[in-house]
Chains A and B, each alone.
Chain A
Amino acid sequence: MGRFVIRRLIGMVVVMFAVSVLTFLIFNVIPNGAPEDRMAGRNSTPVQIAAIREEWGFDKPLYTQYLTTMKKVLDGDLISYANQTNVIEEIKRGLPRTLALAIGAALIWFSLGVALGLYTAIRAGRWTDTLVTVLALIGVSMPVFWLGALATYYLGFKAGIFPNGGYSEIGEAGLWEWVKHMILPWCVLATLFIGVYSRVLRSNVLDTINDDYVRTARAKGLTERRVMIHHVLRNSLIPIVTLWGLDFGAVLSGGAILTESVFDLQGVGQYFADSIDQLDVPPVLAVTLFGAFFIVLLNTLVDIVYAALDPRIRLS
Chain B
Amino acid sequence: MSIADSSIASELSPVAPGGQVEGESAPGLSAWALALRRLRRNKAALIFGALFVVLVALALAAPLWAQVADTTPARNHISDTIVVNGKSEQVVTLEGVPIGPTWQRKFFLGADSNGRDVAVRLLYGARNSLFIGLTATIITTLLAVVLGLLAGYFRGWTDAFISRGLDIAWAFPPTLLGVALGVSFALGGLKVGPLRISGDSLWIPTLVIGAIGVVYLARPVRGQVLSLREKEFVEAARAQGAGSLRIMFGELLPNVASTVLVFFPLLVANAILNEAALSFLGAGVQAPSPSWGTMLADGVLLLSTAPHLTIVPGLMLALTVLALNVFGDGVRDALDPRAKVRLER
Contact = CB atoms under 8 A, between A and B. Distances in A.
- Verify whether A and B have any Cβ pair under 8 Å: yes
Interface of A: 11, 15-16, 18-19, 22-23, 26-27, 30-33, 124-125, 130, 137-138, 140-146, 149-150, 153, 157, 192-193, 196, 199-200, 203, 206-207, 209-210, 239, 242-243, 246-247, 250, 253-255, 257-258, 261-262, 269, 272-273, 276-277, 279, 284, 287-288, 291-292, 295-296, 299
Contacts of B311: 150
A261 B297 CA distance: 12
Interface residues of B, number: 59
Contact of A138 (B174, B189, B318): B318
B317 A143 contact: yes
B322 A141 contact: yes
A243 B10 contact: yes
13 contacts: A15-B171, A22-B168, A22-B172, A125-B341, A137-B325, A141-B325, A207-B339, A250-B175, A255-B1, A255-B173, A272-B179, A276-B283, A291-B176
Interface of B: 1-4, 6-7, 10-11, 44, 164, 167-168, 170-177, 179-181, 183-185, 187-189, 191, 269, 273, 276-277, 280-283, 296, 300, 303-304, 310-311, 314, 317-319, 321-322, 325-326, 329, 338-343
Contacts of A124: 341
Given A196-B4, A246-B6, A145 B174 contact: no
B10 A239 contact: yes
Contacts of A18: 164, 168
Please list the 9 inter-chain residue pairs (A to B) with the smallest Cβ-Cβ separation, ordered nearest first.
Answer: A291-B173, A32-B188, A31-B184, A141-B322, A141-B321, A146-B314, A253-B173, A254-B176, A254-B173
- The majority secondary structure among interface residues of chain A is helix
A132 B215 CA distance: 31
Contacts of B273: 141, 143
A31 B322 CA distance: 36
A209 B189 CA distance: 53
Given A137-B325, A141-B325, A19 B341 contact: no
Which interface residue of A146, A149, A287 has the most chain B CB atoms within 10 A? Answer: A146
Contacts of B188: 31-33
A292 B179 contact: no
Which interface residue of B7, B173, B179 has the most chain A CB atoms within 10 A? Answer: B173
Given A150-B311, A261-B281, 19 more contacts: A26-B181, A27-B180, A124-B341, A125-B343, A140-B4, A140-B325, A143-B273, A143-B318, A146-B314, A146-B317, A243-B7, A247-B3, A247-B6, A250-B3, A250-B175, A253-B176, A255-B3, A284-B176, A295-B173
